Amino acid sequence: MGYGWGKDLKKPEFTKVSDVIWEIPTSFKKGMNVPARIYATKQILDQMDLMVFDQITNVATLPGILKYAYCMPDGHSGYGFPIGGVAAMDAVEGVISPGGIGFDINCLHPDSKISLSNGTWKKVSDLEHEWENKRVKFFNIENKAVENATPIMFMKRMEDNSIFEIVTESGRKINVTAEHPILTQRGFIRADNLKETDNVYTQPFSGVEYEKPSDEVIVSYVDIERILDVIGITNSGNARVQILNTLKRVGLNEIRYNSTALPAILKIMGFVFGDGCISILSKIKKGMTAFYGKKEDLETIKEDIKSLGFKAQNIFSRQRKHKIETYYGTSEFDFTEHSLLKKSTGFAALLIALGTPHGIKTSQPYRIPKWIMKAPLWQKRLFLAAFFGAELSSPKTINAYNFYMHQLNMNKLEILKENGEEFLNDIRLLLSEFCITSTYPTIVEGNQYVGKKGKTIGLRICIHSNPDNLVKLYENVGYEYNKEKSNLACLAANYTRLKESIKSHRSDIRTLALEMYKSGERPRDIRAALLQENISKNFINHSIWPDRSNNVRLPAASITFAFDEFKKNLIGDGIVIDKIKKIEQHPYKGFVYDITINNENHNFIANNIISHNCGMRLVTTNLTLKDVQPKLKELVDKLFQKVPAGVGSEGFLKLTKDEFRKVVEEGAEWCVKKGYGWEEDLQRTELYGRCKDADAKKISQKSVDRGYSQIGTLGSGNHYLEIQHVKPENIIDKATAKAFGIFPDQVVIMFHCGSRGFGHQVATDYLNTFLSVMESKYKIKILDRELACAPFNSPEGQDYFTAMKCGINMSFANRQVILHRIREVFSDVFKQPADKMGLQMVYDVAHNRGSLEKHLVDGSWREVIVHRKGATACFGPNRTEVPKIWQSTGQPVIIGGSMETGSYLLVGTDKAAETFFSTAHGAGRTMSRTKAKGLWRGEQLVKDMQKKGIYVRTVSFPGLAEEAGGAYKDIDSVINAADLAGISKKVTKLVPIGNVKG
C-alpha cells in the first residue's frame, strides 16, 4: 500500500517565497497537513533528486506537524524523512492539529452510515454540521472491543474518478474511494488492493438513526420531592435536603430528553424492569437498587452508574442453591449469583420518579412510562435493548440451522393479569416501531404457582422467527448489558443474512434451470452448467420437473455450516468476520467524506529519524599550520590507530554490559567522571553532555549487545575525523570567530560520528513496535513504513522518547571518549600536555534527534517535538537551549562538508525561529554510493588528495571512494543558501589537511 518504487515521481510546482525558500503547496499530495519548504538556491533546488520532494511531502502528512515540513539546503533523499528534513510536532495536549491522529473512516460515499455512541448512526453527509459533538465508534484491535472516540476532523472533498463497491457474502455493502483502508484479516488494506477472498471485519449491529431530542422536561425537582414524600422520606436528620443536594450536585435533579445522562439512565431503567430491583427499606428510610447478572455485564452497569456521577459499589458474588418446580419436573442446581448494589436513596428516588417500579414487581401493576413511549426511537431502543439484555431469550437454534422464536416471559399475580398483558402490549408496540412483529400475550401453562401474595401466572410474548424479523431485531435493537447475547445476536444476524443470500441464489438458479429446460436444453447440459456450491444435482432436477416441490429452502444436509460452527467468525465484541463476495469499481463524481478520530492523544513522534544521533564536535588548538605540518603524517597515523574506524571496530574501553547501561543513562558526564575528559567539556556540549531522564530499562538487550564494545569508535560511511586549517582569508565573522576561540592559521579538529550500532538497534526495536501498533491502535496511516510513528503521549511514544535519549547519551559519550583519545595522541606527538596546546572544545551538537523544545508558534509558546533528520539545531543568542558560555554569541553550528572540499563553522540566529532553529548539517550527496564507487577509485583518490595537501588514512578504499567530493553538493553554495536565508550565519570555513576515514 503505497510503498512502491515511485518511478513516476513528478516534480512539484514550486512557489518562490524568496531567493532561497521554495514552497510546495499542500495541493501537491493528498494528505499533506502543511506545505513543505525547501531552503535552497535555485541552482541547488535543481540539483536535488525528485525523491527529496516526495519524502518531504510525505513528512508533511504526519499528524500534528506544525507550520511547514522543512528541507535544508543539503537535503537529499534518505528513507522516510529526507536527510536535511525538519518537522516540528505539537506536543501540547488539547491543541488539535489537522491530521491529528490517522484516518479511521476514509473517503466514504455520502450515504455511508457512521456508527455513533448509544447505538445510533448518522449518514456521513449528514454529519457535516454536527460531527463535533458526536462520539464515533471504532474497533480497538488490541482489546478487541468497540469503543467510542471523539472526531477531531471532518473532511469533504470532490471525487471525480471512481468509487469501489464492496459487497460481502452476507450482503453488506460499502462504497469507498480507492485509498480507503478496510480492516481485514490481513490488516488494513486499501480498497483497490482488496481481494475477493479477503475476510473483512463487520459490526452487524447498526442501531437506529440519531435524532436530536427535544429539551422537554421528563422529571422535575418537584417530581422527585413528591416521590420522597411517597416513600416516606421526611426531612428529619436533614435526610431529604441531603438527598436532593446529592442529585443537584450530579446534575440529576431535573431530567430532559436532551440530558446527557439520559442514555445511561434509559439503559439502567430497562435493566431494572428486567433483572433489577429497587427496595425502599421503610424502617431506615433508605433506598437501594440491585442488579443481577453476569459479572462482566454488571461491570458495564457499574461504569454507567459512575458516569452519572455516583460512586459505584462493588459486585458481590454468592453461591446459591436453587430448586424450581416447573411443568417438566423439579429442577435443582447450584449457581453463583452476582449482584451489584447501588445504595443511594437519591438514585432510587430518581428511577422511581421516572416510572421504574419498586418493590416486588410481580405483585404490583406498572406499564412502560409514557415519556418513553414518546421518546425518539434511539432512546426507546436503549430502554428496550437493556430490558432484553435482562429478559429476552438469546438466539438459539432448533436444528442447528434455524432459530427459535425469541420469548419474553413475565410472572404476575393472577389478579394483575390484565396489567401484565398491557405491559407486554407496550413492548409489542415499541417493537412494531422497529417493524418487528410479535405474538399476542398468552398465559404460559405450567408457569403458575401459589405464593404468599396469591396465585401467580406466567405471561409470554414471542418474537416471530422469520429471517427478516430476526435480522431487524438483531441489527436495530439488539441487547444492552449482556455481552453474550449481544455477540450471539451479531453472529445470528450475519448467519441469517448469509443463509438468505444463498436461498435467493438458489431461487435464481431454479428459475434459470426451468427456463433453460423450456428452451430445449438437455437436463445433462443444464446440470453441467449450473452445478456449484449449495446447488446439487437433485436440486436442479427438482427445478426442471415442475411437479416437484418448489421449495428453495436449504435442506439441512446441503448447508455446509451450522450456527455453532459459524460462531468462530466472532473475533471481538460485536465484530464478525465476513468474506468479500465482490468488488466493483464504478465511475463516480461527487463528494466523498472523511472523519478523523482521536483517541486521547494527537501528538506524534516520527520514529525513524530520531535515534541515529550522530553529531559533530569541533576542537580548537593553539597550534598553527606551521606547528602541525611537519608532524601531520605521524599525527594522522596515530589517530588512525587510536580512534578505531570501519566495520567491526571495537573501542579501547572494555565495559561490562551493566556499566554500558550507566553510560547510556549518563552520557558524556559518565566519561568525565571516569577521567575521559575535562569538566569544561560538558559546559561546551549540547545539553551539557547528558540527556536527562534517559532510562536503560527502555532499551533492549540486543541494543546493549551491539553497543557495549563500540564506545570510542568512529564507525564507517560518512563518519570521519579531520584535521583542518583556518585560512586567514576564510574567516568571515571575525568577532564571533574570536569569541569561539578561532584565530587565523589555526589548526582545529573536527569529527563526525554517532551512537553506532546501539542507536540503530534502538531505532529498529521501536520501529517494529510502532509498526505493530500504529495502524491498529492509533489509526495512523503513513505513506512510508520508515515514517512509522506513535502519538508522542502514548506509552509507546514515551518509551521511545526515553530510549532515544539513551541513544543521544551514547553518542555524547562516544565523542567524549574520542576527544580524550585525540588529546592523548596530540600529547604523544608534540610531547606536551594537552591543555598546553589548547585542545578546547568549541561545541558538540547532535544532528539526528528528536527534541522536546518550546517554540513560539502563531504567537503563543508551545511545546513541540522537533525532528531533525540530518539537520543541525541553530539556536540564536539568549536561548535556554544554548549552554551558558555561548549565550551572548548564539550556538556554534558545525557543518561538515565532503572530505575534499572543507567544512564550516556558523552561528545560530534569531531568524532561525522560522525553521524551529534548524539548519543544514553537511553538503548533501548528489549520487548513490554504488554510483560513486563506479566513478572513483579509493587508491587514486588518496593520491589526488595528497597532491592537494590532504593526508588520508582509511580502512577501506572503496568506502573512501564513496565519499569523494564529487559525490556531494558544493558545500559553499549549501552554506550560502543557509546564510542568505539567515537561519545561520557563516563564521569561518575550515579546510582539511588530514583525514581519518571510517
Partner 1 sequence: MSYKFLEDIAIADVAFEADGKTIENMFEQAGLALENTMVKELETVKTTDKRKITAEGKDTETLLHNFLEELVYIKDAELLLFSKFSGTKIAEKNGKWFMETTGLGEPLNQKKHELLVDVKAVSWHKFSVSKVRGGFKSTVILDI
Residues with catalytic roles: 921
SS3 443: strand
- Least Cα distance to 345 among 332, 360, 358 occurs for 358
Q: Does 511 sit near partner 1 (CB under 8 A)?
A: no
Site for partner 1 in 339-368 (CB under 8 A): none
Q: Closer CB to partner 1, residue 496 or residue 710?
A: 710
Site for partner 1 in 381-410 (CB under 8 A): none
Min dist. Cβ of residue 186 to partner 1 (A): 8
CB-count burial class (<10 Å; 0-12, 13-18, 19+) for 582: exposed
Q: Closer CB to partner 1, residue 49 or residue 169?
A: 49
Which residue in 480, 666, 786, 979 binds partner 1 (CB under 8 A)? 786
Long-range contacts from 352-357, C-beta under 8 angstroms, 24+ separation: 352/227, 352/230, 352/231, 352/278, 353/219, 353/223, 353/224, 353/226, 353/227, 354/218, 354/219, 354/255, 354/265, 354/269, 355/269, 356/269, 356/272, 356/273, 356/278, 357/273, 357/278
Which residue in 538, 928, 940, 946 binds partner 1 (CB under 8 A)? 928
Q: Closer CB to partner 1, residue 640 or residue 917?
A: 640
Tally of residues, the chain: 998
Binding mask 187-206 for partner 1 (x = CB under 8 A): --------------------
Q: Does 721 sit near partner 1 (CB under 8 A)?
A: no
Q: Tell me, what amino acid is at 553?
A: R
Q: Closer CB to partner 1, residue 11 or residue 311?
A: 11
Q: Does 937 sit near partner 1 (CB under 8 A)?
A: no
Q: Closer CB to partner 1, residue 646 or residue 877?
A: 646
Rounded CA-CA distance 16/809 in Å is: 40
Rounded CA-CA distance 131/151 in Å is: 7
Q: Does 797 sit near partner 1 (CB under 8 A)?
A: no
Q: Tell me, what amino acid is at 235?
A: N
Q: Does 657 sit near partner 1 (CB under 8 A)?
A: no
Min dist. Cβ of residue 932 to partner 1 (A): 9
C-alpha Rg value of the chain to the nearest Å: 37
SS3 222: helix
Binding mask 53-92 for partner 1 (x = CB under 8 A): -----------------------xxxxx--x---------
Q: Does 764 sit near partner 1 (CB under 8 A)?
A: yes
Min dist. Cβ of residue 47 to partner 1 (A): 12
Which of left, alpha, beta for 927 (phi over 0: left; psi -120 to 50: alpha)? beta
Q: Tell me, what amino acid is at 210?
A: Y
Rounded CA-CA distance 12/35 in Å is: 12
SS3 479: coil
Q: Are strands 951-954 and 985-997 parallel, antiparallel or unpaired?
A: parallel
Give the alpha-carbon dihedral of 432, 438, 440, 445, to 10 degrees: -150
Place of cell 505493530: 772
Rounded CA-CA distance 697/848 in Å is: 22
Which residue in 128, 147, 159, 705 binds partner 1 (CB under 8 A)? 705
Site for partner 1 in 565-624 (CB under 8 A): 608, 612
Which residue in 63, 712, 715, 807 binds partner 1 (CB under 8 A)? 715
Which residue in 180, 925, 986, 989 binds partner 1 (CB under 8 A)? 925
Q: Closer CB to partner 1, residue 763 or residue 906?
A: 763
Residue 983: CA count within 13 A, CB half-sphere: 30
Min dist. Cβ of residue 726 to partner 1 (A): 29
Rounded CA-CA distance 777/492 in Å is: 28
- Least Cα distance to 577 among 73, 144, 980, 122 occurs for 144
Min dist. Cβ of residue 50 to partner 1 (A): 11
- Least Cα distance to 154 among 100, 113, 194 occurs for 100
Rounded CA-CA distance 991/625 in Å is: 11
Which residue in 341, 405, 583, 927 binds partner 1 (CB under 8 A)? 927
Q: Closer CB to partner 1, residue 97 or residue 710?
A: 710
Min dist. Cβ of residue 760 to partner 1 (A): 4
Q: Closer CB to partner 1, residue 98 or residue 958?
A: 958
Q: Are strands 105-108 and 590-598 parallel, antiparallel or unpaired?
A: antiparallel
Which residue in 2, 590, 648, 833 binds partner 1 (CB under 8 A)? 648
| Interface stretch with partner 1, choices 159-167, 672-680, 716-724, 974-982 (CB under 8 A) | 716-724
- Least Cα distance to 73 among 968, 974, 916 occurs for 974
Instruction: Name the H helices within 875-967.
Output: 929-935, 938-947, 957-961
Which residue in 725, 760, 781, 821 binds partner 1 (CB under 8 A)? 760
| Interface stretch with partner 1, choices 30-38, 163-171, 507-515, 643-651 (CB under 8 A) | 643-651
In sequence order, the 6+-apart residues with CB closer than 8 A to the CB of 531 are: 537, 540
Buried b (16+ CB within 10 A) or exposed e, 106-136: bbbbeebbbbbbbbbbbbbbbbeeebeebbb
Q: Does 141 sit near partner 1 (CB under 8 A)?
A: no
Min dist. Cβ of residue 279 to partner 1 (A): 52
| Interface stretch with partner 1, choices 136-144, 215-223, 454-462, 926-934 (CB under 8 A) | 926-934
| Interface stretch with partner 1, choices 105-113, 176-184, 205-213, 703-711 (CB under 8 A) | 703-711
Binding mask 961-990 for partner 1 (x = CB under 8 A): -x----------------------------
Q: How many residues bind partner 1 (CB under 8 A)?
A: 54
Rounded CA-CA distance 109/831 in Å is: 79
Q: Does 956 sit near partner 1 (CB under 8 A)?
A: yes
Give the residues lining the site for partner 1 (CB under 8 A).
3-6, 49, 51, 76-80, 83, 608, 612, 646-650, 702, 705-707, 710, 715-718, 756-757, 760-761, 763-764, 767, 771, 784-786, 788, 925-931, 934, 955-956, 958-959, 962, 998
